[in-house]
Amino acid sequence: MTSLELTTDDAMSKGLVDEFTHCFTGECRVNVLQILFRINQVLTQNADLATLVSIILDGMRQQMRMQRGVMMLYDRHSDAIFIHDSFGLTEEERGRGIYAPGEGITGKVVETGKPIIIPRVIDSPDFLDRTRAHNKGRKQDKLAFFCVPIVLAQKVLGTICAERVYMNQRLLNQDAELLAMVASLIAPAVELYLIENVDKVRLETENRRLKSELKQRFRPTNIIGNSKPMQEVYAMVHKVASTKATVLLLGESGVGKELVASALHYNSPVADGPFIKANCAALPEALAESELFGHERGAFTSAIATHKGYFEQASGGTIFLDEVGELSLPTQAKLLRVLQERTFERVGGAKPVKVDVRIIAATNRNLAEMVAEGTFREDLFYRLNVFPITIPPLRDRGSDVITLADHFVTTYAAEIGKPIKRISTPAINMLMSYHWPGNVRELENVIERSVILAEEGVIHGYDLPPSLQTPTETGTGFSGTLEDRVTAVEYEMIVEALKASNGNVGQAATTLGLTRRMLGLRMDRHRLTYKTFRTAGLRPRN
């Protein structure tokens, strides 16, 4: 470059400066080009919002001579607009600067997505001065205020607001346009910040809230029942919950072993960790190892990616192995190693995976008998049987039947919007006299069905399934004679056979050792029909 060219360029630059200096605004704005250049550099390199905000606020204070500048962000989930960073405000003043959409000038900008310019802020009824930064005896009567939205894809993410004294309306408009351009440039970085920080904090808060609710829901005091057998269970849960000892839950199907396992987890030192449930009975033998311990990519034909098994997912928390007695002997051997060393390899992998997990197992089978039969490993049984808790069957829990029934009535009546007020005395007697082979799960299904059928706000005996119907309720009551008692026993046996066969008369007749015709005659005598047992079959709940 020649000296002549340099002189010419200098002259042109000086001319541009002079033009901006004397553009009837009273101030030169060429120096803000450096701010835009630095913003563009940050956006190109890392889009760090903290750096961008620092550049913008410094430029507003130094080059644009603002008295106050504020960057505000909008959290649409909490519907709050809050100060992210500022200058000219104290920490206390910043803390007070929270608005809702439509509230004050800032709220209106967020609500409409349009900038607002106030030449004399003191004259604006929308200026709330929530920060109380204007009550210090300063000369505030000539302050102008303007606020521009930060918008991306028609979604308002926040605002940039500023205050200063302007002697020229054109300069005020020019500065508002400049900051609107800056807001447009940084909008993608603001959205990313909100997703990674504000939304993350909100989701973490929501996660903590949900875990707290689960903890309250599954605490032992919320397991319904006050019978002596259940009081013993509560005492055992209280003693072992605060430890990381392996627990083996024993009891018939439907007694509530999963509920007790949840109570153990949510009252344990790892309550904030994951609670992973693995139904061993539902795991196909060929996939059980992969589901429990995971597999590496390419371990078998359909293994297109690395898969973390239940144990890895539960690391830092609790794994609940339901129906553990259904596992095959090879899978039992691998489970034994995890209990001993807390280490395993994924299927197709050679690298050991170490986990820190509490194990709670459950079964409705007699594991000691299975050990004697050779279908369950003795060493695994002793590893699992560290702290056994036996959950009593419903038939041994006395008045808990009615307590649970009332609870399920309240739950399902509210669910379907039906005002069920009570269970009639005959229905209560029927519930109390039944032997409940399906335990609490069966009771829940019975009550759900009865709530649907009940009318006039009362559950009557005839709303209960045929399997619970007593001879009195069906007109086959007895006064104590041998003939009447035989009739009652016959009724119960026919009901049980029809229930077991889902209303298949031929199958029920075979079970009872009768011909189809003979069973049909006895059903007519007891006023029973196979259709009742097909339409009233109890469905299992997930």
Over residues 83-104, mean pLDDT = 86
Residue 210 inside a domain? The answer is: no
Q: pLDDT (tens digit, 9 = 90+) per residue, 150-179?
A: 999 889 999 999 999 888 888 888 888 989
- Distant-in-sequence contacts of 115-122, Cβ < 8 A, 24+ apart: 115/146, 115/147, 115/148, 115/149, 115/176, 115/180, 116/146, 116/147, 117/144, 117/145, 117/146, 117/172, 117/173, 117/176, 118/144, 118/145, 118/146, 119/144, 119/166, 119/169, 119/172, 120/144, 121/145, 121/163
Residue 276 inside a domain? The answer is: yes
Dist CA 392 CA 265 (whole Å):
20
Q: Last residue of some domain: 165, 200, 235?
A: 200
Dist CA 430 CA 10 (whole Å):
103
Do 145 and 286 share a structural domain?
no
Do 188 and 67 share a structural domain?
yes
Kind plus residue range of the DSSP H or E element containing 170? helix 169-193
Domain ranges, residue 334: 220-392
Q: pLDDT (tens digit, 9 = 90+) per residue, 117-162?
A: 988 888 788 888 778 777 654 556 688 999 999 999 889 999 999 9
Give 363's strand partners. Answer: 250
pLDDT beyond 70 at 299: no
Residue 214 inside a domain? The answer is: no
Number of domains in the chain: 3
Q: What is the pLDDT of residue 111?
A: 92
Do 256 and 354 share a structural domain?
yes
Please provide the size of the chain in residues.
542
Write out the two tokens for 20.
Answer: 């901006």
Dist CA 31 CA 17 (whole Å):
9
Residues in CB range of 395: below 8 A, 6 or more apart = 435, 436
* Confidence class for position 97, pLDDT limits 50, 70, 90: confident
Q: What is the pLDDT of residue 475?
A: 45
Q: What is the pLDDT of residue 148?
A: 95
Q: pLDDT (tens digit, 9 = 90+) per residue, 167-226?
A: 888 888 888 898 999 999 889 988 888 887 766 666 665 666 666 665 555 556 568 888
Least confident residue range of 15-24, 61-70, 195-204, 283-292: 15-24
Q: Last residue of some domain: 359, 392, 425?
A: 392
Site of tokens 């079970």: 511
Q: What is the pLDDT of residue 538?
A: 36
Do 426 and 365 share a structural domain?
no
Do 147 and 101 share a structural domain?
yes
Residue 5 inside a domain? The answer is: no
Structural contact between residues 307 and 255, judged by C-beta atoms closer than 8 angstroms: no
Residue 166 inside a domain? The answer is: yes
Write out the two tokens for 47.
Answer: 């889009």
Q: What is the pLDDT of residue 24?
A: 56
Q: What is the pLDDT of residue 387?
A: 95
Do 372 and 287 share a structural domain?
yes
Position with higher pLDDT, 77 vs 22: 77
Q: pLDDT (tens digit, 9 = 90+) per residue, 458-472?
A: 898 888 888 887 555
SS3 sequence of 221-276: HHCCCCCHHHHHHHHHHHHHHCCCCCEEEECCCCCCHHHHHHHHHHCCCCCCCCEE
Q: What is the pLDDT of residue 48?
A: 81
Q: What is the DSSP string of 102-124?
A: TSHHHHHHHHH---EEESSGGG-
* Confidence class for position 27, pLDDT limits 50, 70, 90: confident
Do 175 and 39 share a structural domain?
yes
Q: What is the pLDDT of residue 289?
A: 82
Do 372 and 282 share a structural domain?
yes
Do 181 and 53 share a structural domain?
yes
Q: What is the DSSP string of 367-426?
A: HHHHHHHTSS-HHHHHHHTTEEEEPPPGGGSTTHHHHHHHHHHHHHHHHHT----EE-HH
Q: What is the pLDDT of residue 18?
A: 44
Over residues 344-356, mean pLDDT = 81
Residue 507 inside a domain? The answer is: yes
* Confidence class for position 478, pLDDT limits 50, 70, 90: very low
Q: What is the pLDDT of residue 267?
A: 85
Do 185 and 42 share a structural domain?
yes
Q: What is the CATH number of the domain that holds 410?
A: 1.10.8.60
E strand intervals along 273-330 = 275-279, 318-322
Do 373 and 438 share a structural domain?
no
Site of tokens 């960790």: 273
Dist CA 451 CA 455 (whole Å):
8
pLDDT beyond 50 at 535: no
Question: What is the pTM assigned to this prediction?
Answer: 0.51
Residue 42 inside a domain? The answer is: yes
Residue type for position 442: E
Q: What is the pLDDT of residue 348?
A: 74
Q: What is the mean pLDDT of the chain?
A: 81
Q: pLDDT (tens digit, 9 = 90+) per residue, 355-403?
A: 889 999 999 999 999 999 999 999 999 999 999 999 999 999 988 898 8
Q: Last residue of some domain: 333, 360, 392?
A: 392
